[in-house]
Structure 1
Amino acid sequence: MNANSPDFQKLRVAALESRRADDMARLIERHGGVAHVSPSMREIPIRPNRAAVDFAYRVITGQIGVVILMTGVGFKFLLSAIEGDVDRQRFLDALSDITTIARGPKPAAAMKEVGLTPTYRVDEPNTWRELLQLIDRQVPVANQHVGLQEYGVTNPSLIAGLEARGATVETVRVYGWDYPEDVGPLEANLRAIIAGERDVLLLTSAHQVVNLLRLAESQGLVAPLREAL
């Protein structure tokens, strides 16, 4: 692909997007590529999740003053995890009374679905770095208890950054990641990459790489995959 070209020039593009696979395929094709999109992961909610229930009670009782929502699906899983143990409306009302930060458009949209608007929304590209920049500009967190809804895995850099600014960080993990229910398309893309039948590998998250390597390892294909990449 020519660095000065605005499109893929008919290159064969492997992408590992899951929830928005169709959108990714259209995006690649709109930019002149031949799309080969294979979902690589799915979110698995943690159930039962006593930690989520405890987290919600701490928000309701005013023990957490700032809540950071990292993903839209995570916020939805959080609401689902506390159902039956915590009054949903009391929790939502408590969130509306404190400072809330949405990492990007998806958690903001999930909040809107239940009648909430985040106090702040992180600028694009919506990484933990932009989140900390927002906090430096607008959200003093020194001596505050900050609730952090995590996304599948812990982000030690973000936690360290918050703690360096004087916050006490209380994390809540509501889901993990696994393979998609059908790994056939992912395996097909894996073997096509190794065979030289893909020109570009398009990634949008680190865990896509993790699952691709896990699948390669399970089939004894790590070495040829690394060589192909």
Structure 2
Amino acid sequence: MNDDRTARPLEGCTVGVTAERKAEEFGALLTKKGAHVVHGAAMHTVPLPEDGELAEATRRVLASPVAFVVATTGVGFRGWLEAAEHDGLGSGLVEHLRSATLLARGAKALGAIRGAGLPDAWSAPSEESSEVFDHLLEHDLAGKRVVVQLHGQPMTEYREKLRAAGAEVIAVPVYRWTDPLDLDALDHLIGEIVAGRVDALPFTSAPAAANLLDRAQRLGRGEELHEALRSRVLLACVGPVTAAPIARAGLPYVMPERARTGSLVRLLTERLPGS
């Protein structure tokens, strides 16, 4: 392998990016590796202070003491506290959560808990949601109020298991997504994929994956897109939560060993032809 290929292993490859919040950072990593990037955000994040659903969930949390709090993402947990602060409920929410047992999905969520001055009780070594909820279900949850900070997906299966164990579950929808602000860019990306001009499509969030598939269906291009994704495009998902919509669609995908953006880029350099 020559020096250029070693330094720019994605030279000659086109990679689609559907992220909104980290699109520039993600695109820069890919471009540095030599890839041509086609960007089409697949969703738009509703600003937290404007989200009435989140404010209502916070009021429900504050209505009575809670026994357990599950923090699934660092940025989400911090965002929830910041949104509460915007509504004049910030200090009250932190004090309200202080008596609860807090569980973190991973290091970033744990850091957000500590950053708020709250005691952390336990963090999942695998950083997987399933491990957090398995640990929580080992406790007696009958009649207990359990707060689950969502990270985009409704986590319906986990919430139903908690309710079956007798818990009152309060879902805090910190992230809520709508269609992207620039639908034309997403439609262009779908067209490029269908035309065979995209080599890889990495996903860093489940809503982006789900909305890409849904948008193609609404355009009447669902079957074309599925065929392209099955036969010509390398689908890569940062982790199992992100991969869920892809798996449900029966599409093949790969994942890095660590759920990190940098690991996702490295996986593309290893799997794409010529890398």
Query: Which stretch of the first structure deviates more once superposed, 67-76 or 190-199?
Result: 67-76
- Give the corresponding residue for 2:263: none
* Cα pair distance change 1:116/1:39, threshold 3 Å: farther
1:197 aligns with 2:200: no
The corresponding residue for 2:141 is 142
In the alignment, structure 2 segments of 5+ residues that lack a partner are 1-5, 230-275
| TM-score of the two chains, using structure 2 as the length reference | 0.65
Q: Structure 1: how far apart are the matches of 2:83 and 2:116?
A: 15
Bigger relative contact order (CA 8 A; separation at least 6): 1
Matched AA of 1:142: L
Q: Please list the CA deviations of residues 39-74 of structure 1 after superposition, one character each: whole Å capped at 9, or x if unmatched.
A: 22222243163332121232xxx2x11111223444
Matched, 1:152 2:146: no
Q: SS in structure 2 opposite 1:101? A: strand
2:188 aligns with 188
> Within 2, Cα distance between the matches of 1:141 and 1:147?
15
Cα distance change, pair 157–225 in 1 and its aligned pair in 2 (3 A): same
Cα distance in 2 between the residues matched to 1:42 and 1:175: 10
Cα contact 2:73–2:109 (8 A) shared by 1: yes
Indicate whether 1:75 and 2:77 are aligned. Answer: yes
Distance 2:36 2:119 in 1: 39
1:190–1:225: 8 Å Cα contact kept in structure 2? yes
Corresponding residue SS for 1:97: coil
Give the paired residue count: 217
Confirm whether residue 47 of structure 1 aligns to residue 52 of structure 2.
Answer: yes
Check conservation: 2:67, 2:146, Cα contact below 8 A. yes
In structure 2, distance between residues paired with 1:42 and 1:73: 16
Mapping of residues 60-139 of structure 1, within 5 Å: 62=65, 64-79=66-81, 82-83=84-85, 87-116=89-118, 118-124=120-126, 126-135=127-136
Question: For residue 66 of structure 1, what is the amino acid of its counterpart?
Answer: F
* Long gaps (5+) in structure 1: none
Percent identity over paired residues: 27
RMSD of Structure 2 on Structure 1 (CA): 3.1
Q: Please tell me whether the aligned partners of residues 11 and 33 of structure 1 are also in contact (alpha carbons under 8 angstroms).
A: yes
Q: Give the aligned residue type for 1:129.
A: S
